[in-house]
Amino acid sequence: MLSRPPRVAAIHDLSGFGRCSLSVILPVISVMGMQVCPIPTAILSTHTGGFGEVSQRDLTDYMEPCLDHYRKVGLEFECIYTGYLSSPDQVAHCLQFFDSWPGALKVVDPVMGDHGKLYRAFTREMVEGIGRMARKAQVITPNLTEAAILLGEAPAAGALSTAAARSMLARLGELGPEKVVVTGVTLATGEYVNLCYDREHNSFWKSVGDYIPVHYPGTGDIFAAVLTASLLQGDSLPLAMDRAARYVELTIKTTYSYSTDPREGVMLERTLEWLTRKEVSKRFQSL
């Protein structure tokens, strides 16, 4: 048994304004009782979603010396969690982190795009590299756009039937990960859901949410961070997915009530406390 909180290495960018990536991952995982060690892939003045020209520094050169240092001091990690990368060479460094802690839970949030489009600066080479990482992961958390990119398909144009949703999840599982979570899906039933698939148990689940007609950046990062910490505290996959979905929904609704500029992201300062309650949710169902 561990005699300290589980330790997560979070490989992601640090954006100063706009509440995404490490700016939200650090408080979320900490408040859930785990130690999170940030390994920034880049520093940006804001996220790339609408503030014009971003001031940024790529930190590819930092990653390998950082890894060497951690190995030298014999640090232990229970989880390696990767997200936004800023150069294709960072893929190899992330894979080195995976190889250096073979017993750690490997979570890949394949941050590449949203709403049917790749994010700015995401090249073919990056897409291919992130695909390689997803194949090595135990858990992946793509949104619907990223799921299609991982499968080499065009993003689904409309609502998904249950059969199509199950097929998508199973095919993502065949790439390698044991646990697949896909966020932001509209089913043919009209339900707005997050979906997951546990390959070991061949079980498929959905978590139905309220659709809120506004998009905030960073919600995928918050979702993946809650899911990761939840799995580390021993929750089943559907429980972890539902905890993440409920928290994101609560935080979006809270923010929406303030009518702030969506580019500023969600007001997690107002809701972080909810994550300490360890509520056992009942809103997930079989898919």
Residues that bind ligand PXL in the complex, under the rule CB under 6 A: 13, 15, 20-21, 44, 47-49, 84, 111, 119, 217-218, 220-221
Q: Residue 18 or 238: which CB sits closer to ligand PXL?
A: 18
Q: Residue 21 or 271: which CB sits closer to ligand PXL?
A: 21
**Cβ neighbours of residue 6 closer than 8 Å, sequence gap 6 or more:** 34, 35, 78, 79, 232, 233
Smallest gap from Cβ 198 to ligand PXL, in A, equals 25
Q: Residue 15 or 205: which CB sits closer to ligand PXL?
A: 15
Smallest gap from Cβ 62 to ligand PXL, in A, equals 16
Smallest gap from Cβ 120 to ligand PXL, in A, equals 8
Q: Residue 134 or 165: which CB sits closer to ligand PXL?
A: 134
| CA distances from residue 142 to 44, 163, 176, 256 in whole angstroms, order as listed | 22, 19, 14, 24
Q: Which residues of 14-46 are buried (b: 16+ CB within 10 A; e: fewer)?
A: bbeebbbbbbbbbbbbbbbebebebbbbbbbeb
Taking every pair of Cα atoms in the chain, the longest distance, rounded to a whole number of angstroms, is 53
Q: Which residues of 193-205 are buried (b: 16+ CB within 10 A; e: fewer)?
A: bbbbbbbeeeebb
Smallest gap from Cβ 31 to ligand PXL, in A, equals 19
Q: Residue 108 or 287: which CB sits closer to ligand PXL?
A: 108
Smallest gap from Cβ 44 to ligand PXL, in A, equals 5
Are the CB atoms for 237 and 222 separated by under 8 Å? no
Structure tokens given for 10:
């979070």
